[in-house]
A and B are shown apart, each in its own frame.
Chain A
Amino acid sequence: AQSVSQHNHHVILSEAASLELGCNYSYGGTVNLFWYVQYPGQHLQLLLKYFSGDPLVKGIKGFEAEFIKSKFSFNLRKPSVQWSDTAEYFCAVNGAGGYQKVTFGTGTKLQVIP
């Protein structure tokens, strides 16, 4: 079975601060990894995804994530956050060898203070 852990439940940052949100997954085989973002009152949207190749993945709005296979991690980063980044962020995993089942982490609420 696959699982995802997000250890930061609530993060508060000032504008221009750097961001790193942790994500660890558990799965025995090849994985596809995702970060989704949910802005207040809205549905989830894809931020970025990793399938294969370069472990450093760049997404929309200046976000990036690094896949470290040895650590089973896929942490999300942004060098300088903005107030508009206030949202909830979800890491998700899909075991590449299996059917299309996506497992989500519990989410991290990011609050950016102007």
Chain B
Amino acid sequence: EAQVTQNPRYLITVTGKKLTVTCSQNMNHEYMSWYRQDPGLGLRQIYYSMNVEVTDKGDVPEGYKVSRKEKRNFPLILESPSPNQTSLYFCASSLSTVGSPLHFGNGTRLTVT
């Protein structure tokens, strides 16, 4: 089954404790992206990747890191999480063709205390 898999689904952590949210897709998509969803703000792009070893900042990249060492994986790293990073995070992938629809993972609800 074609899918984008994120883990974990729920994560509660404390300020400053490094964490990684994993994302994997099995559709051989070149493009992958991370979004955060906050009430009243919709989805905002954090980072995206056009292909292996090619990543770039989205609209809200501060406090986040990503890597794309393999085509299927695109982990999101929070080196020193802060409470303002409490949010619902979605990974998405698509073909690189402009206009290709995004396929989303099931989301990771992160709480930073």
How far is the CB of A94 from the nearest CB of chain B, in Å?
A: 5
B99-A51 in contact (CB<8A): yes
Q: A42-B106, A43-B105, A43-B106 are in contact. Are A100 and B97 (CB under 8 A)?
A: yes
Closest A residue to B40 by beta carbon equals A106
Residues in A neighbouring B60, C-beta threshold 8 A? none
Number of A-B contacts defined by CB within 8 Å: 60
Cα of A6 to Cα of B58 in the assembled complex, Å: 21
**Chain B's nearest CB lies how many Å from the CB of A63?**
15
Contacts of B104 in A (CB 8 A): 43-45
A84 within 8 A of B: no
Q: Does A12 contact B (CB under 8 A)?
A: no
Tell me the bound Cα distance from A104 to B92 in angstroms.
Answer: 13
Contacts of A43 in B (CB 8 A): 90, 104-107
Binary interface profile of B, 22-58, with partner A (CB < 8 Å = 1, else 0)? 0000000001010100001111110010100000001
Q: B31 — nearest CB in chain A belongs to which residue? A: A100
Q: Would you call B42 and A100 a contact (CB within 8 A)?
A: no
Using a CB–CB distance below 8 Å, which chain B residues touch chain A? 31, 33, 35, 40-45, 48, 50, 58, 90, 92, 94, 96-102, 104-107
Chain A positions within 8 Å of B, measured between CB atoms, are: 6, 9, 32, 34, 36, 42-46, 49, 51, 90, 94-107
